[in-house]
Amino acid sequence: MQLALLYFNTIIGPEIYFSHPGSVLEKIGRKMLGFFDLDMSDKFFEVSLIEEDLKITNLYFEITSCWARGNKEMLMLSVISDKNLKSELLYDTMKDYSIKIMSIVNLYKAFYTKGYLNENDLEIEQKTKEFYEILLECYNDLRERLKEKIDDEKIIKKFKKFEW
């Protein structure tokens, strides 16, 4: 399982801001960036990559921003996992973390580390660090909860494979 956070960079378009553990494979990353162009009413959706045997579960959300066009940053939290994983298992945790991210004051500054604007703002480094910590925590939490839920599913699957 891999966690990624994508955002819409005002200058270069969709970009992978964070991924853990390791970087997202280029081929998969390209596909993920394309999700931003999809006009979907649902904010929580999954995409199956048949050739790669993978599933990408995504939660789109926005945070307020004083520096972005339209005063909002468009973000997408994505989980790259085995194709058999039920994406519903991830929803609660992803939702909780999106709310957590939305509630951090001035978090948008974390997206401006490359000196596009206001590079002298002291809060940029602090918010970037804070954001990375939350995302790592989100990854660990997802992995733990998933492990628990997969264990729960095991016994249920064993009984449910038969009719009673």
CB-CB contact of 64 with 75 (8 Å): no
The residues that touch other proteins, with contacts defined as CB under 8 A, are: 152, 155-156, 158-164
Instruction: Compute the least distance from the CB of residue 148 to other proteins, in Å.
Output: 10
Instruction: Compute the least distance from the CB of residue 154 to other proteins, in Å.
Output: 9
Instruction: Compute the least distance from the CB of residue 151 to other proteins, in Å.
Output: 8
Nearest residue (CB) to other proteins, 88 versus 133: 88
Q: Dihedral sign for Cα 26, 41, 10, 7, please.
A: negative
Nearest residue (CB) to other proteins, 22 versus 164: 164
- Say whether the peptide bond before residue 21 is cis (omega within 30 degrees of 0): yes
The vertex-101 CA angle with 72 and 55, nearest 5°, equals 95
Nearest residue (CB) to other proteins, 103 versus 159: 159
